[in-house]
Chain A
Amino acid sequence: MKEEIIIAGFGGQGVLSMGKILAYAGLMNDMEVTWMPSYGPEQRGGTANVTVILSDSAISSPVLDMYDTAVILNQQSLDKFESKVKAGGTLIYDPSGIHHKPTRSDINVVEVDAMEAMMEMNNSKTYNMILLGALLAVRPVVPLDAVLRGLKKTLPERHHHLIPLNEQALRKGMSLVGK
C-alpha cells in the first residue's frame, strides 16, 4: 500500500498540522512516512501545502508530480493541483473557498463542507480535523485509533485535554462523507 497525498490551502487553515497528524498516524500504524511542507513565509494567509506519503515499503522521493489524493481548501490550490491527481484518484475539496468547481470526471471528486461543519461545532480550530475525518472516510489509509495516537504524540501534553474535541471533529468529518 502506498498513498501519495497533497493537502493545500491558505496558511493558518491547519494544512501543515493536518498533514503532520496524518503522518504521525502512519508512524503509529508502523508505516513508512514522509511529510514535506512548502515551508516559507506563508504561515499566515499565503498559500501553504504539504505532501504526505504513507507506505508499507521504503519511500523514494518526498517530492511528487502526481498524487493519489488531494485535499483542497482554496481556489488557488484547486487551480494548481486538480490536474495533478492521478486518474482514478481522489479530490476532496471544501466548497466554501471555491468559485469554480473541479471539472475532471476521471477522478473521484468529493465535496466536504467542512466550513459549515466547523460553524456547527462552534470552534474554528476543529476545521482541519473535520477534513482529516472526511479524508479517512473516503480513503481509510490509517485507522482512527492510529490518528488519535498520532494526535497524542504531536500535541504538547498541556493540550491533551483537547483530544476528545479533536476526536469529535474527526468523527463529524467522517459523517459528512456520503451524505
Chain B
Amino acid sequence: MKGNEAIAHAAIRYGVDGYFGYPITPQSEVLETLEAEMPWETTGMVVLQAESEVAAINMIYGGAAAGKAVMTSSSSPGVSLKQEGISYIAAAELPALIVNVMRGGPGLGTIQPSQADYFQATKGGGHGDYHLIVLAPSSVQEMADFVALGFDLAFKYRNPAMILADGIVGQMMEKVVLPEPRPRRTQQQIEEQCSWAATGRHGRKHRNVVTSLELDPARMELNNERFQRTYAEIEANEVRFATHYTDDADYLIVAFGSVARICLKAIEEARAQGVKVGLLRPITLWPFPKAEIARLARQVKGILTVELNAGQMIDDVRLASECRVPVAHFGRMGGIVPNPAEVLDALYNHFPEAKK
C-alpha cells in the first residue's frame, strides 16, 4: 500500500480517537483512506474533514486538551497554516500528532516531493521557544510504525510530535506489516493516564485548565524553563538514527527520509568502485543525532548532506561535526528528485580525492 494509506491504517489500529484534516496533494490519501475505512463504525474514531487547516489544528488542540489521541495531516502550505495552533499546543504541553507530507515550495509551489520544511519542523515554525519531536520516515513501513511511535512519545513527554515525510514516501507503494489493532482507551483510562486533561471536575477540588496564556512574565519564564527541561530530557533519551557502511567509511553522506534510500543506492555503487562511503540517516530530526555525527566527523575526511532543499539540515550537521571536516551540500529543489547517479556525481564533485 501507499505510505499515506499506511498512516491511515496505522492510526485506526493504534486506537486514535480523532483525525481532523483538510485535503491537499500529496497526502490526501490519508483522509480518503480513513473515510473509506469508516473507523467510526468500528473503533469509534472520529474522522472529520474540517473547513480549513486552521480549523483542523484547533480541533486537535481541543481534542488533545481533553486527553484524546488526536492527529492531523497536511502538506507544506497547509502545515504553514497550522503553525499558530502548533505553537499553542506545544505551549499548552499537549500530546498530538501532526503529519507533513512535504511538497515543493515556497508558496503554493508544486505537488512533487520536497524536504524544504526541515527548518520549519525542527526550528519551531510557529512562534516561541518550542520544539516538536520530528520523525522522518524513509519507507512505507516507517510511515505505519511512526504513528505509534509519534503518539507514544507525544504522550510520554506531553509534547506534539510530527511525522515529516515527503511526497515519495507518501505516494510510493511497498510491503508493510501493520501493527496489531488495539482498542481505543476508555474514558476512565484517559483520566487515569492524563491527570492534567480537561475532562470535567468529577468532585476534584481544582479545575484542570489548559491554556497557553500566562499574563505574568515571571510565571511564563518558569513555564519556559519547564519546557526546556522537557526538551533536554527528550534530547537525552530519544535520539534515533540508522547507519549503513559507516564502520570503515572515509566519507559520510547524511540524508533523511526517502532521499537516504536514494543515497544508499549511490553508496552501494561507490563501494562497488572501491570508494568507502557510509550513510547516516537521522530518524529523529529533532532531537538531532549530534553525538553520532560528532563521532563520525573524527573518522571521515568529508561529509555530504543530500536534501530536497537548498541546504537546511546541513546547518545542524556542520554544528554537530564541529567543523572538523568539510561539510558540503547537494540538493534539488521545487519538487525535483535526484537519482543515485546524481548523488554519486555530487560526492565526487565535492570530494574529488575520494575517487582514487
Enumerate chain A interface residues (CB-CB to B < 8 A). Answer: 20, 23, 27, 32-37, 39-41, 59-66
CA distance A66 to B341 in the complex (A): 9
Residue B340, interface by CB 8 Å: yes
**Of the residues A32, A62, A64, A65, contact of B258 by C-beta under 8 Å:** A62
The DSSP consensus for interface residues of chain B is helix
Q: Are A39 and B171 also in contact (CB < 8 A) when A63-B339, A64-B339 are?
A: yes
The DSSP consensus for interface residues of chain A is loop
Residue B229, interface by CB 8 Å: no
**Of the residues B25, B26, B261, B337, contact of A60 by C-beta under 8 Å:** B261
CA distance A66 to B265 in the complex (A): 12
- Leading 7 A-B pairs by shortest Cβ distance: A61-B265, A65-B339, A35-B173, A60-B264, A65-B341, A60-B265, A61-B262
Q: Are A35 and B339 in contact, CB atoms less than 8 angstroms apart?
A: no
Cβ-closest chain A residue relative to B169: A62
Q: Are A35 and B174 in contact, CB atoms less than 8 angstroms apart?
A: yes
A27 to chain B, nearest CB (A): 6
**Of the residues A20, A39, A41, contact of B167 by C-beta under 8 Å:** A39
Q: Are B111 and A39 in contact, CB atoms less than 8 angstroms apart?
A: yes
**How big is the B interface, by class?**
20 to 34
**Of the residues B168, B266, B340, B341, contact of A36 by C-beta under 8 Å:** B168
**Of the residues B172, B263, B268, B338, contact of A62 by C-beta under 8 Å:** B172
Cβ-closest chain A residue relative to B268: A60
Residues of chain B with a CB closer than 8 A to A66's CB:
341
Residues of chain A with a CB closer than 8 A to B342's CB:
65
Residues of chain B with a CB closer than 8 A to A27's CB:
175
Residues of chain A with a CB closer than 8 A to B171's CB:
36-37, 39
Residues of chain A with a CB closer than 8 A to B268's CB:
60
Q: Are A36 and B265 also in contact (CB < 8 A) when A63-B337, A63-B340, A65-B339 are?
A: no
CA distance A32 to B261 in the complex (A): 15
B347 to chain A, nearest CB (A): 14
* 20 more CB-based (< 8 A) A-B contacts, given A61-B264, A65-B340: A20-B173, A33-B173, A34-B172, A34-B174, A36-B173, A37-B171, A39-B111, A39-B112, A59-B174, A60-B262, A60-B264, A61-B266, A61-B339, A62-B168, A62-B262, A63-B168, A64-B265, A64-B340, A65-B339, A65-B341
CA distance A37 to B266 in the complex (A): 21
CA distance A33 to B172 in the complex (A): 10
